[in-house]
Chains A and B, each alone.
Chain A
Amino acid sequence: MSLLTSASTKHRPARHRRHSDQADESVVGPTSTAGKVLGGYLPMILATLVVVLPLLWMVLGSFKQAGEVVSRTIAWLPHHPSWEAYVRASHQVNFPRLFLNSVLVTVVGAGIKLVLAVTSAYALVFVRFPLKRVIFVAMLAALMVPPQVSLLPNYVLIAGMGGVNTYWGIILPGLGTAFGTFLLRQHFLALPREVLEAAEVDGAGHMSRLLRMVVPISTPAIATVALVTIVDEWNSYIWPLVITNDDSRMTLPVGLTLLKNIEGDPSSYPVLMAGAVLVIVPVLVVFLFLQRYIVAGLTQGAVK
C-alpha cells in the first residue's frame, strides 16, 4: 500500500484532460518517472523474479550432479549439465510409465468430463423439462461441496468395487462436472436464440443443433473448460494417491511422492527436480500459449 501513500500529489499534469479507456495510473498512481519505477516497475519485476527464479532453480537443479548439490557452497549453474538425474529417476521409479499414466488419465478423464459438461449445459439451456431449475441448482450446489471431504467414502466405494490400482478407479469418481456445466451453461444462455429457433423450424433436431451450431460457435468457451479440466486432471493428487499403491498405475504426482520417500538423502535433489520438471513444465508450456483461456476459466464468475 506504500506505493499509494508515497505518491506525491503536487506535480501531476492536468490529469482531467487526459483521456484513456482505462482507469489507471493517471489517477491512481504517481505519474513521475521515479514514482513509476518505485511504485510500478520495481514491484512488478520483483514479483516476476519471485515466480521465475524458483522455477529456474528447479530446471538448473535437475541438470546438476549429486556432488554439486550436496556441497555447502552453492553451485549456481550446473558445471557439467547432464541428464543423469533424469536417468537415475527412471531407475528408481518407472518415469516413462508414470508420465504415460498421467497422460492417459488426463486425456480420458478430461475428455469425458468435457462431453458431459457440453451435453448437460445444452440440456439445461435448450431442452424443455419441467424440473430444470431444481436440477440446475442441485448441480450448482456441488461446486460448494469440498471435494477433499469425500475422500474416504469414495475410497471405500471404489475399493469395494475392485478399483484400487486401476485406471477406471482413478478416473471415475472425478468425472461428474459441476464447474464445466455451470461455465458452459452461462455461455450457452448468451447465444442468439433466434438462430437456433430458426434451425429448429427448418427441421434440425437437437443433436444436429448441438453438434453443428452450438459447439462450433462456442469453441472458445469449450476450449476454456477443456484447458482448465486438463490442468486439473494433470495436477490432481489426493485421489490418485490413495487409490494407487503400485507404480504401474500411479500418476506423476503420486510417483514423485514415492520417489521422495525412496530418495530421502539431500543428494537426491537433482532426481527430485527432474521429476518436478516433468510434472510442471508441460503445464507451464500449455499455460504459456493459452494463458488467456486458462486465466479466464479459473477466474470466471469473479467479476460480473
Chain B
Amino acid sequence: MATIEVGLRERPATPAPAATPTTPHVRPPNRRQRSRRARREAALFLALILPNAALIAVFVYRPLIMNAYYSLLNWTLGSDTATFIGLGNYVEFFTSHEAAQVLGTTLVFTLATVGGSMLIGLVMAVVLNRRLVGRGVARATVFAPYVLSGVGVGLVWSFIFDPTIGVLSGILRGLHLPVPQWFLEPPLSLTMVIIVYIWKNLGYCAVIYLAALQSVPRDLLEAAALDGASRLRTFWSVIWPLLSPTTFFVLLTTMLSSLQSFDLIRIMTPLGQGTTTLMYDSYLQAFGGYNRAGYSATISTILLMILLVMTAFQMRFLERRVHYA
C-alpha cells in the first residue's frame, strides 16, 4: 500500500492503510464522509491503473506520434543532428521504384496468407466438427504451431526447404522433379515464407471457426435437411451466413497480424529478397545497416495508416453487412 499512496496526485492521502476502512458502514455516512470515501476510491483507482496506463501511453501511443515526427526528418540513427525535410521522405518513397515492389509484396503476402489460412482453417474446422475419434488431439495439434516461436519455426522450415540437403528437395529429386531454388529466386522465397506462415497460423482460424460451427443451432440444420437442401446448399445458405461475424473477426485479426509479420521473414530470408513487405522494409531501413531512421519512420507511418484505414473500413462497412444476411 505504501508505494501506491505515493503515486497520488490530488492530495496527500491519510497514512491509514486502505485495507482497514475507518468508518463502519452500518451507520449511514454523512456527506463529508461520503465525499472523503469517494476521494479515497478515486485515489485507489488511479494507484491501481496508473502504472499500466502510463506504460501504454509511453510505449504504445507515444511511438505513434514520434514516428509521424521522425518521418519528417532526414536523420541517421545514432546521429545527434537531423534536418527537417517536410514530406521529403514520403516523396522519396512513393517516387522510388522500391515503392511499387514493397507495396506489391505486402499485398501478395497479406492476401495469400490471410486467404490461405482462412480457407484451410475453415476446411479443417468443418472436418473437425464431425464426431471423429481423436479430434480433440487433432484440434490441439493443428493449433500448436500458432504458439511456437517464429524463429524456431523458421529455422525448422529452412532446414526442410534447403535446396541441396533439405528433405523436401530430397523427395522431389527422388521423384525426378525439379528442385526449386527457394532461397535464390525472389518469387519462390516469397512463396516459401507464405507457405510457412500459413502452416503456423491456420490453426488459429480453424479453432475459431470450429467454435463458431459448434454454436450453429442444430434445429436450423435439421430444418434445412428436412426441406431437402443438399449439404453444399446448407453450407452456403445456412452455415456460411451464420459464420459471417466469425469471418469478419478472423479476417480483421489475421490481416492485422499478417501485415506485421516479421519473425519468419527475418529468419528465413534475412536480406528480404522478394519478401520485403512494408513492415520488413521499415526494419531494414533503420536496423538493417542503413540506419535511415527518418525514412524507416516514414514507412512505419504509411503502414500504420494502411492498418488504421483497413480497421476503420472493416469496422464501418463490413461489420454492418455480416450479420445473418
Q: Which residues from chain A sit less than 8 Å from chain B, CB to CB?
A: 1, 3-5, 7, 9, 15-16, 20, 22-25, 27-30, 36, 39-41, 43-45, 47-48, 50-52, 54-55, 57-58, 61, 69-74, 116-117, 119-120, 122-124, 127-130, 132, 135, 138-139, 142, 144-157, 172-178, 181, 200-201, 203, 205-208, 231, 234-235, 237-238, 241-242, 252-253, 256-257, 260-261, 266, 269, 272-273, 275-276, 279-280, 283-284, 287, 291, 294-295, 298-299, 301-304
Contacts and interface: CB of A to CB of B under 8 A. Distances in A.
A117 B303 contact: no
A149 B127 contact: no
Interface stretch (B97-105, B106-114, B159-167): B159-167
A73 to B, nearest CB: 7
Nearest to A266: B165
A8 to B, nearest CB: 9
Given A283-B147, A294-B147, A238 B63 contact: no
Nearest to B167: A74
Given A148-B262, A149-B303, A269-B159, A122 B48 contact: yes
Given A1-B123, A152-B296, A280-B149, A256 B231 contact: no
B137 to A, nearest CB: 8
A51 B303 contact: no
Contacts of B304: 146, 149
B70 A152 contact: yes
A127 B41 contact: yes
A3 B208 contact: no
B255 to A, nearest CB: 11
A237 B150 contact: yes
A205 B159 contact: no
Interface of B: 1, 17-21, 24-25, 38, 41-42, 44-46, 48-49, 51-64, 66-67, 70, 77, 123-124, 126-132, 134-135, 137-138, 140-153, 155-160, 162, 164-165, 167, 170-171, 173, 199, 203-204, 207-208, 211-218, 221-222, 224-226, 230-232, 234-235, 239, 245-246, 249-250, 253, 256, 259-260, 262-263, 266-267, 270, 279, 282-283, 286-287, 293, 296-297, 300-301, 303-304, 307, 311
A205 B19 contact: yes
Contacts of B270: 261
The DSSP consensus for interface residues of chain B is helix
Contacts, number: 363
Contacts of B132: 36, 40-41, 44
B231 A28 contact: yes
A234 B151 CA distance: 11
A157 to B, nearest CB: 8
A266 B158 CA distance: 10
22 contacts: A15-B225, A28-B234, A29-B130, A43-B127, A44-B138, A54-B199, A58-B152, A61-B159, A142-B61, A149-B64, A151-B63, A152-B293, A172-B59, A181-B52, A200-B25, A207-B1, A237-B266, A280-B153, A295-B207, A298-B204, A302-B249, A303-B215
